[in-house]
Amino acid sequence: MGFTLLDSVIVVAYLIGVAVIGIISGGKQTSARDYFLGHRNVPWWAACFAIVATETSTLTFISIPGLAYVTNLNFLQVALGYLLGRVAISAFLLPSYARGELVTAYQLLAGRFGPRMRSTASVTFMVTRLLADGVRLYATAIPVALILRVWMGLEGIPPGQVYAIAIVVLAGMTLTYTYTGGVRAVIWTDVVQMFIYLGGAVVAAAIILSGTDGGGILDWSKLSVIRTGFDLSLGEFFKTPYTLVAGILGGAFLSMASHGTDQIIVQRLLTVGSLRGSRRALIGSGVIVLFQMALFLFLGVLLHGFYGGLSVQELGLTKADEIFPKFIIERVPTGLSGLIVAGLLAAAMSTLSGSVNSLASSAVNDLYKPYVARTGAIVDDLRVSRFISLIACILLVVVAIFFIANTSAFLVELALSIASVTYGGLLGSFLLGILVKRARERDALIGFAAGIVLMTYLVFGTGIAWTWFTFIGTCATVLVGFLSSLGGREKELRA
């Protein structure tokens, strides 16, 4: 057992192979539009798999099993909400995207409200994406650094330096195909990587069930999926994240925000040439994610049985996120551990590549072209797009390395809370434009600002569960924007 030279060869072969696949599949781009939309002829099923791979980060790969290890399967209620949210997006937002020749999600806000709202939403997306995916990149570096320290004899080097090396290597390999191949390279490598990380999870589950090194005993009490929460007091109800109402409602609104207003997902939907295909890709991804979450959660339950129900501290760990990496490194047979680590890297690289390309897309189309560009030259646009992709990757590395010096167990939760702060405002702005016909740009900006201020207070000043954040932020943005539109209309009538 343990991580051997064979496992290392498998991981290195994966890194090189996925880079080659990305470079070949990316093809030739002649414009920034090709670079970001892939000629708009990507098959719906490829976009579907790419969406699943993009939203499945290393945190999902290691944190969801850890969550189930210490709790149960209640998180599946949130995953069900994810699917319902996608259905809502397909009905209300996708037709608006399909009607226009859009490259980013925030061009829709420009057409409805004006350029200031577009710029505000785009900058908000970029800041949020840099923080969230910087944390994800750092999280990926942790198990990779552990392997490097053993395999390359780096025990004497401070862990922070090894983490930095792992971060730079992962980012460099991902940038290789993202820079040259654009969104097509991102999507087709995502398709491959989705099957790699799911295969790794299935292999891990099979090893535990086979009883290797003992274990494989299920604790049936941990298979609980539904918790109504009706036995809780009102205060406890809103502080408990995984009740039926909080899970489904929170999951639905979070999915509506992340898959309806976040450029990293919307960009994939825009690469599909038809509304019908985009709907298939989006709803299909929700079905796959539901089953995927069930797999990762069940893996956590299996790990609980494998380790005989020992607590995190009794296992010699500091947090539940370390349980699955511990199992991979210590318990998985030679060769198979390399496959599972490759799956972990696949989950990370799919998110990182999507983040780099979507950040560049938003920066070029929402900021550079409207405010900086003086010419529409195709070659210049493509060169600028690739240059900004490079800058985006460097910024993600800087953010990830910054988090090395802040090893608090609450870092991931902080990053997710920041995303929740902005998601409510973004989704609320889109819904305001659809639901309130009289709303203008000023109303959208006021509603957006009010939603962010309220969510900042709720996230950092109260104990309300994270599953309520996006729902509350969305409602606040729409309500304040609507009230602002009433005041503005009355002023116009008096004038």
Give tens-digit pLDDT for 317-354. 877 878 888 888 788 888 887 888 888 778 778 878 88
CB 250 within 8 A of CB 82: no
Confidence (pLDDT) at 211: 66
pTM, entire model: 0.87
**Which tens digit of pLDDT belongs to each residue from 75-84?**
999 999 999 9
Alpha-carbon distance 149 to 158, whole Å? Answer: 10
- Numbers of helices and strands, H then E, in the chain: 19, 0
**For residue 8, pLDDT beyond 50:** yes
Alpha-carbon distance 90 to 143, whole Å? Answer: 37
Residue 348 is encoded by which pair of tokens?
A: 């990370």
Assign 147 a pLDDT band (cuts: 50, 70, 90). low
Helix (H) or strand (E) holding 133: helix 115-151
Look at residue 404 and give its three-state secondary structure: helix
Tell me where in the chain the CATH 1.20.1730.10 domain(s) lie.
Answer: 5-406
Residue 56 is encoded by which pair of tokens?
A: 């499945």
Residue 413: closest CA among 465, 361, 374, 486: 465
Phi, psi (deg, nearest 5) at residue 131: -65, -50
Which region holds residue 134: left if phi is over 0, alpha if psi is between -120 and 50, else beta? alpha
Greatest pairwise CA separation for the chain in angstroms: 80
Higher pLDDT, 252 or 495: 252
Q: Angle at Cα 453 formed by Cα 447 and Cα 459, nearest 5°?
A: 125
Look at residue 436 and give its three-state secondary structure: coil
CB 397 within 8 A of CB 442: no
**Domain spanning 5-406: which superfamily?**
Sodium/glucose cotransporter (1.20.1730.10)
18 residue type, one letter:
V
Higher pLDDT, 99 or 397: 397
CB 64 within 8 A of CB 292: no
Confidence (pLDDT) at 413: 54
CB 403 within 8 A of CB 412: no
